A and B are shown apart, each in its own frame.
Chain A
Amino acid sequence: MHNIFVYCEIDEGQVADVSLELLTKGRKLANELGCKLEAAVIGHNLKGIEKEIYPYGVDVLHVADDKRLAPYTTLAHAHLVVDLFKKIKPEVALFGATSVGRDLAPRVASKMKCGLTADCTSLVFGDHKDNKSGKEYKNLLYQIRPAFGGNIIATIINPDTRPQMATVREGVMKREISDKAHKGSLKTIKTDEVLTDELFPVRILERHMEKKKINIKASPVIISGGYGVGSKENFELLYELADVLGGEVGASRAAVDAGFADHERQVGQTGVTVRPKLYIACGISGAVQHTAGMSESAKIIAINNDPKAPINELADYSIIGNIEDIIPKMIKFYKQNTK
């Protein structure tokens, strides 16, 4: 009762990275409250999955293993999670902000009539006093997220409803094994008793999943482009520079929306969070929504023709000018001066 809960998503037979990141965060939150960390895995062929999960400090793992539960469909997973919440009454429940988590968590929150905050970038405990009623709350989960297109940072709380639910994007939290030898207890959910045909109205007819191919998170150098790059053709310059420097190409949301780059390259609140050695921001103005995903880069270079662009404030170097002039010069110098 009143523990921290994490919904563990399965991705190609393994626990998704984002879920392991949430377990890491969940363990820390549980230590602060002095409570347990519980998790659930819902899917099929899950034998042995606990070995992957326990080292992250999970005390109680609930497993629902049934061939009807994979691939994911909304109603069945939502039903199992709601059922579990009614039994274990968690204090906090965390979900990955993935296509699964963002489909599932709101459905669960609506059923539980509890608050849910999407895409949090930070989760900490803090106290609260309601000014109207004077009621005081200890250890509420502060759910911190950018809003309004990233121009404000909001701290959201759910004072009176439980669980306090939040989703977090992949890469936002750190992933860390807490204890390799840690063992939790396994609780099997008897799916035959809880799953009915009515929970499967949506049938999956076809699925084409692509392997994770681009992983800009792992790249030490990222050349990112924004709307200011101007066109898909101009993005080619970024690919050239990335190629020469041994990096990857990233993009801002505006550039992805404009069709200049694929979504998997998107850096920022609604994309991935990156911490490369070098981040070169080309034609990016620097809305917080973007900077939230790259501000921890070791070195930042901004290339922009607007000397007042907010990104310049964050940059170690800001170059004022056009990328069409500047990038070829960078490539030329680099090629001439390295082997």
Chain B
Amino acid sequence: MSFRIIVLAKQVPDTRNVGKDAMKADGTVNRGALEAIFNPEDLHALEQALLIKEERKDAEVIILTMGPPRAANIIREALYRGADKGYLITDRKFAGSDTLATSYVLSLAVKKLAPFHLVIAGRQAIDGDTAQVGPQVAEKLDLPQVTYTEKFTEIKNKEVSIQRRLERGVETVSTPLPALVTVHSSAANCRPRNAKLLMKYKHARTISELQEETKDYTEMLNNKPYLQIDEWGVADIEAGEEQLGLSGSPTKVKKIENVVFAAKESIVLSSEDNDIDRLMKDLIDSHVVG
């Protein structure tokens, strides 16, 4: 039996690069201008899995993502970096899921891939910053959880040791396997795409994507079955519909306000000497400093 590692990853809007074109004239976000990317800490999670694969010949890395059909992009990104296989969990019925409903879906998909040794995910995703899905998947699978992983210090068949990054220090723990681990941004950066793997997997497609292609993939897929990215919907993971989407989500969004910066009286200065001198004089005179 292989040492199976399942990596949970999410495609997210790149909220870190909210540049000028991402803000509309009225001060609100132009979501269309944000690129869809591989959630940064999930890349750190993938790297931890790939490091284990380097150490253990029997390791197998499976990438699992839940999202709309275009999230297949991050599965390809993972394949280009060394993952062995990917699954896209997609269904319109998942739309509107909060962290509890999301963790329910992910836990069913992970169960379907049992037996496994490790489930590794990023600590949190940059669109929500909740850090809830990892621990909630662990609870649903009744697995021990180790959050904020910085590195694996020892990998054994039935146990791993992990260094965790806490707010004010580090802690090394051991956990029996299988276990769920979330990875902190202070862990090693993910390796870049590998040119050979890029060539091997650039035609990897999900069924939905194949339906949109003009090119005929039938022969290619027959010869190279690894190019097929599996897609799972509600029926495949045998999910209870009442636990999905909005109805499966205890939290509801009552109100969303786009942030508009309220203007207040502001004095604009240049970097010229007399401007800076005047500012500093004001600050000293008003005892703000000094």
Q: For B290, what are the chain A residues with a Cβ–Cβ distance below 8 Å?
A: 334, 338
A308 sits at the interface (CB 8 A): yes
Chain B residues near A329: list those with CB within 8 A.
271, 273, 276-277
A75, B284: Cβ atoms under 8 Å? no
- Do A319 and B271 have beta carbons less than 8 Å apart? yes
User: Taking A210-B168, A333-B276 as contacts, is the C-beta distance between A317 and B144 under 8 angstroms?
Assistant: no
| Contact present for B127 and A208 (CB under 8 Å) | no
Complex Cα distance A149/B34, Å?
A: 11
Whether the pair B131, A207 counts as a contact (CB closer than 8 A) is: no
Chain B, 203-254, CB within 8 A of any chain A CB: 249-254
Of the 9-residue stretches B56-64, B65-73, B76-84, B172-180, which lies at the interface with chain A? Answer: B172-180
Q: Which residue of B lies closest to A104 (CB)?
A: B135
Complex contact B280–A334 (CB within 8 A): yes
Residue of A nearest to B186 (CB): A263
Interface SS of B by simple majority: mixed
Interface stretch, picked from B12-20, B86-94, B113-121, B192-200, is: B12-20
Q: Within 8 Å CB of B288, what residues of A?
A: 277-278, 298-299
| Residues of chain B contacted by A208 (CB below 8 angstroms) | 169-171
A333 touches B271 (CB 8 A): no
Residues of A within 8 A of B281 (CB): 333, 337
Q: How far is the CB of A230 from chain B (nearest CB, A)?
A: 16
Assuming the contacts A157-B254, A202-B146, A318-B266, asked whether A116 and B273 have C-beta atoms less than 8 A apart, the reply is: no
Collect the chain B residues with CB atoms within 8 Å of residue A314's CB.
261, 264, 266
Binary contact track A110-141/B, C-beta < 8 Å → 1, others 0: 11011111110000000010000000000000
A165 → B minimal CB distance (Å): 9
Are B16 and A254 in contact (CB-based, < 8 A)? yes
B259 within 8 A of A: yes
| Docked complex Cα distance between A226 and B268 (Å) | 20
Q: Is the CB of A156 within 8 A of B253?
A: yes
- A329-B276, A333-B276 in contact; A317/B129 too (CB < 8 A)? no
Q: How far is the CA of A148 from the CA of B170 in the complex (A)?
A: 29
B1 on the interface (CB 8 Å rule)? no
List, sorted by A's number, 10 A–B pairs whose CB atoms are closer than 8 Å. Answer: A99-B166, A116-B99, A149-B126, A152-B256, A212-B168, A246-B289, A287-B18, A314-B266, A318-B267, A319-B270
Known A-B contacts A310-B27, A319-B275, A326-B276; the reply to A154 vs B174 at CB < 8 A is no
- Bound complex: CA A157 to CA B20 (Å): 32
- The reply to whether B139 and A110 form a contact with Cβ atoms under 8 Å apart is yes
Asked if B155 lies at the interface with its beta carbon under 8 angstroms from chain A, I say no
Q: Does B168 contact A103, Cβ atoms closer than 8 Å?
A: no
Q: How far is the CB of A190 from chain B (nearest CB, A)?
A: 24
**Complex contact A330–B132 (CB within 8 A):** no
Q: Is the CB of B271 within 8 A of A148?
A: no
Known: A156-B254, A208-B170. 5 other contacts (CB 8 A): A106-B132, A208-B171, A308-B20, A319-B276, A334-B289
CB distance from B103 to the nearest CB of A (A): 6
| Residue B46 at the chain A interface, CB threshold 8 Å | no
The 8 Å CB contact of B168, one of A209, A221, A299, is: A209
Q: 6 nearest interchain CB pairs?
A: A149-B15, A321-B271, A115-B250, A209-B169, A115-B251, A110-B139
Total chain A interface residues with beta-carbon distance under 8 A = 92
Residue pair A98, B254 in contact (C-beta under 8 Å) = no
Contact B132 A118 (CB under 8 A): yes
Binary CB contact string for chain A from 312 to 339 against chain B (1 if under 8 A, 0 otherwise): 1111111111100110011001100110
When the two chains form their complex, are residues A313 and B264 in contact, meaning their CB atoms are under 8 A apart? Answer: yes
Whole-angstrom distance between the Cβ of B18 and the nearest chain A Cβ = 6
In the complex, what's the smallest C-beta–C-beta distance from A258 to chain B, in angstroms?
A: 10
Knowing A257-B185, A310-B27, A310-B261, the reply to whether A154 touches B144 (Cβ < 8 A) is no
Q: Looking at the complex, which one of B131, B136, B255 makes contact with A154 (CB distance below 8 Å)?
A: B255
The docked-state distance in angstroms from the alpha carbon of A330 to that of B284 is 11
Q: Would A106 and B280 be within 8 Å (CB), given that A161-B250, A205-B173, A310-B23 are in contact?
A: no
Is A94 an interface position by the 8 A CB rule? no
**Interface assignment of B140: CB less than 8 Å from any CB of chain A:** yes
Q: Tell me the complex Cα distance, A207–B163, Å.
A: 9
Q: For B267, what are the chain A residues with a Cβ–Cβ distance below 8 Å? A: 316-318
Q: In the bound complex, what is the Cα–Cα distance between A269 and B265 (angstroms)?
A: 25
B179: chain A residues within 8 A (beta carbon): 201
Residues of A within 8 A of B283 (CB): 278, 299
> By the criterion CB–CB under 8 Å, are B252 and A157 in contact?
yes
Assembled-state Cα–Cα distance A269/B15 (Å): 14
Task: Kindly provide the distance from the CB of A135 to the nearest chain B CB, expressed in whole angstroms.
Answer: 12
Within 8 A of B (CB), among A138-181: 142, 146-161
A245-B136 in contact (CB<8A): no
Residue A13 at the B interface, CB < 8 A?
no
The reply on A288 being an interface residue by CB < 8 A is yes
Residues of B near A110 (CB, < 8 A) are 100, 103, 135-136, 139-140
The reply to whether B171 and A257 form a contact with Cβ atoms under 8 Å apart is no
| Interface pair A74/B144, CB less than 8 Å apart | yes
Interface assignment of A203: CB less than 8 Å from any CB of chain B: yes
Complex-state Cα separation, A128 to B271, whole angstroms = 51
> Closest CB of chain A to B24's CB: distance in Å?
11
CB distance A147 to B128 under 8 Å?
A: yes
Residue of B nearest to A203 (CB): B174
* Residue among A149, A210, A211, A285 with max Cβ neighbours from chain B (10 Å): A149
Contact A148:B257 (CB < 8 A) given known A110-B140, A201-B144, A277-B288: no
> Once bound together, how far apart are the Cα atoms of A201 and B252, in whole Å?
34
Q: Which residues of B contact A285 (CB under 8 A)?
A: 18
Q: A203 contacts which chain B residues (CB < 8 A)?
A: 173-175
CB-based nearest B residue for A119:
B129
A2 close to B (CB within 8 Å)? no
Within 8 A of B (CB), among A35-91: 71, 74-75, 78
Q: A205 with B261: in contact, given A110-B100, A310-B27 (CB under 8 Å)?
A: no
